[in-house]
Chain A
Amino acid sequence: MRIPEHPILEFKKGRKISFLFNGRKFFGFEGDTISSALLANGIYVFSRSLRYKNPRGFFCGIGKCSSCLMNVNGIPNVRTCITPLEEGMDIKMQEGFADIPNIRFEGFKRKRISTDILIIGAGPAGLCAALEGTEQNAKILLADENPKLGGQLIKQTHKFFGSREEKAGTRGIEIAEQLTEDVKRKKNIEIFSQSTVFGYYEDGNEHVFGLVKRYNGYKEEIYEVRCKSAIFACGAMENMLVFPGNDLPGVYGAGGVQTLMNVHGVKPGKRVLMVGSGNVGLIVSYQLLQAGVEVAAIIEALPKIGGYHVHAAKVRRSGVPILTSHTIIKAEGKDRVEKAKIAKLDENWNVIPGSEKDIKCDTICLAVGLTPSIRLLAQTGADVRFIAEAGGYVALHNKYMETSIKGIYVAGDASGIEEASTAMLEGRIAGLSAAHFVKNREVEDKKIKPYLDGLDRLRSGDFGIRGRKAKEKILSIMEKEYGRV
């Protein structure tokens, strides 16, 4: 189902594109990914599980889970959520393990490319890092997996909080456009979109990364990227929640649903149960209403709402109930969600017998937190630690955002889950520091001070505690064990 009209967004329908799915002809539009075109056509079973052949569907929508892998033009394991739809594509559901054809790995010549700084991820942190780095005349290669730059900003239709310096009052989508435009105007920044940085290798003083660039959706070129410094601004991935039926099509990540609605103009379903009342759960619920989707309820296991009251108030006055001290017991349905069973929790997190209730819905959105994406970063040997307040394993870093490995930096959610506004400031610090590092210069503290002050401001107040604690822990371990501040 496509969104016919939207109060904030204009969906310019591109050229009509025909494609085959399991041998049947369907239509999508230019700008669709394979996943969004399938969902718009009412196709929600994307694969079958390996052992029990259970139906599986869309989940994260940003290429981070493996829920949407399909065979496209004979190539297996294509991430259909980030692969642009093209005329005549032959898309097939994968049954069981994929057969990987040898031809996939033959005849590739790798190209070599050298740069001062490789930035992995072009979201708020990566874009700001690139802009700051190029100000210092560093040569930059900015790589991102998606066709469009901006990371998760491209689906943030709400106005940002913060102060003027962090573009408060501006919608995330507009911030993405502005930053992307600025980056594209800089001669020193080479942009590799639809590109995955897949491996780390060492060679003397240089860091070497493997990069695969996709074009025409599924064709690829392999690069060997040599750089003096790298910034990991790879963001985060949505958390799963354990309950029976959590793999049914219709159980989607809240962020994935936000991408589907606000980037592709496709509704996830007709009636949604939102699980989690943090800012993501509250904001996505509001955006579902804006897209013309009914929200049955928002449930929250904690006795209080997790996100800002102002976000909760917006959905409440639109008639959506928020049920605190409630959890999801199971999702039921034949090959997609048909209902959810929820129940009330007592103060010890036990289900209160007899409180179970069925909620009729075709979609269950999970907004239960994020985990920093650090798998590639860990390959560099950077010291990673489990910091609960940061959302999981993150690289130790100092105030310059430098990890335990000289010249390797982190920024944004990949360095600890926070907000886009903090990501932009961390990106600026990382970009500035990395550019000084490649020029063998020391960063003057007065240069990063305005950004550090901005971070302090954003992390003050009741809702900044978690981020503040996470960063304090990370910085203090870094100082204690590596003597670097």
Chain B
Amino acid sequence: MEEYKRTGVLSIKDLKVPSEEYLRKGVALTECVEHIPCNPCVDACPFNAISMESLTDPPNVDYDKCTGCGNCVAVCPGLAIFIVKIKDESALVTLPYEFLPIPKAGEKVVALDREGKSKGIAEVVRVRKVGKTAVITVKTDKKNAMNVRNIRVER
């Protein structure tokens, strides 16, 4: 049995990590590894970058086609898609957020990993509301690119 089935937390070895080149461009990371019947991400992608053989297959992202636009982040019912873009020594992580208060661009928030543990302070770069889901981009250290997956707003 995979460890995440017991803990609810994925590790790097469960994921397909794009090469540094793709990460510099900024691409979608689908943290969706099980066979569940769901495909809105496939329909949401304007570049046909996400494919699935059958409804229950995990999504497969073509990093050559993916532009990191983030449309899939907002539609994913599992809130399991993130955009990661490496820029110099920072990482821009775009994540879905459905809590209040919604932070504003420029605001400092606590960056959290997959276990909700603090990874230091991150700066909110962009906030987009798609329906009731906020799609938030935060700037964190490059070393946190594959760890930061949530934020905590402390006001």
Contacts and interface: CB of A to CB of B under 8 A. Distances in A.
Interface of A: 5-8, 158-164, 168-169, 171, 289-290, 303-305, 308-320, 322, 324, 421, 457-464
Contact of A457 (B31, B55, B99, B117): B55
Contact of B116 (A159, A309, A312, A318): A318
Interface string B5-44: 1111110000000000000000000011111111110011
Contact of B36 (A305, A310, A314, A315): A310
Interface stretch (B60-68, B71-79, B83-91, B137-145): B71-79
Interface residues of B, number: 42
Most buried by B among A171, A309, A315: A309
B47 interface: no
A461 B56 contact: yes
Contacts of A7: 98-100, 102, 132
Q: Which 7 A-B pairs have the closest CB atoms?
A: A319-B116, A310-B78, A461-B56, A312-B8, A461-B35, A159-B77, A169-B40
B114 interface: yes
Contacts of B8: 305, 309, 312-313, 315-316, 322
Contacts of A305: 5-6, 8
Contacts of B9: 313, 316
Contacts of B102: 7
**B contact patch SS:** loop
Contact of A313 (B35, B114, B132): B114
A305 B4 CA distance: 9
Given A310-B32, A464-B37, A303 B1 contact: yes
A438 B79 CA distance: 45
Given A7-B100, A290-B99, A463-B34, A168 B39 contact: yes
B94 interface: no
Contacts of B112: 317-319
Nearest to B117: A319
B101 to A, nearest CB: 9
Contact of B37 (A8, A163, A169, A289): A163
B150 to A, nearest CB: 4
Contacts of B77: 158-161, 168-169, 310
Contacts, number: 138
A295 to B, nearest CB: 11
B5 A317 contact: no
A6, A161, A164: residue with the most chain B Cβ atoms closer than 10 Å: A161
Contacts of A8: 98, 132
B98 A457 contact: no
A254 to B, nearest CB: 17
Contacts of A312: 8
B54 interface: yes
15 contacts: A5-B100, A7-B102, A158-B77, A163-B39, A289-B99, A309-B10, A310-B34, A310-B78, A316-B7, A317-B113, A317-B114, A317-B149, A319-B116, A458-B37, A464-B56
A309 B33 contact: yes
Contacts of B4: 309
B35 A164 contact: no
Nearest to B52: A163
A161 B77 CA distance: 6
Contacts of B115: 316-317, 319
A463 B35 contact: yes
Nearest to B100: A7
